[in-house]
A = this chain, B = another copy of it.
Amino acid sequence: MMQTGFRMREENLSRREREKLRQRFQMLAAAFELFSEKGYHNVSIQEIAKRAEFAIGTLYKFFQNKEDLYKALVLEQSEKFHDALVQAIEAPSDEVEKLRNYVRTKSELFRGNLPFIRLYLAENRGVSYTLNEGLDDEVRKRYYAHLEKLSAVLESGIKNKRFRDIADPYGLAVAIDSTVNAFHLLWMDAPEKHPYPEDPDAVLNIFFKGLIAS
């Protein structure tokens, strides 16, 4: 079974609860594999149940319907990502190091969760189509939270005179984040053409020096 990256926290639970959690995990993992392979709309509940080795009805005990299952899947992964990124920003004390750590962590998340990234991009970038109704709310909230945090790092750096007095720290945060993403997507699409953006400075240097010759 492929690396799915789902976490199970099993501490302090009764045997029954642990069992439930393990089942839920099996289902999410099976669904994730299939969705990753074929995309949400090309996977049937039957298939998921069979791969997870549960009866259909059991699956429906855990998730109201296919969409619910999908949302749970994305939400749990997205939470994992979120936590890692928040942690990455907050751990170091130095602003430059915070940025570097953010980029480095994002890089690791990309590399370590390729199937999920593909799945998420495949099904979710859209706004307001059936599937994303309530899902995006949560994911977007987290995205905005990252941007705010990044932005705050920049502002703090400006105040500390670590950074030049830039006009629009939020805009720069957006730029840095989207650039990291873009680098990784290029790598994903055509790894032979675009090297894996391993070194966080490879991205950050773009922003460290201004473009215009003065």
Contact = CB atoms under 8 A, between A and B. Distances in A.
Interface of A: 38-39, 41-42, 96, 118-119, 121-123, 125-131, 140, 144, 161-168, 171-172, 174-175, 177-179, 181-183, 186, 188-190, 202-214
A211 B164 contact: yes
A69 B103 CA distance: 40
Contacts of A171: 183, 202-203, 206
Contact of A122 (B38, B42, B129, B203): B129
A211 B172 contact: yes
A21 to B, nearest CB: 23
What are the 10 tightest A-B residue pairs by CB atom distance, in nearest-first order?
A122-B126, A178-B182, A210-B210, A39-B129, A121-B125, A209-B210, A175-B179, A164-B213, A178-B178, A125-B125
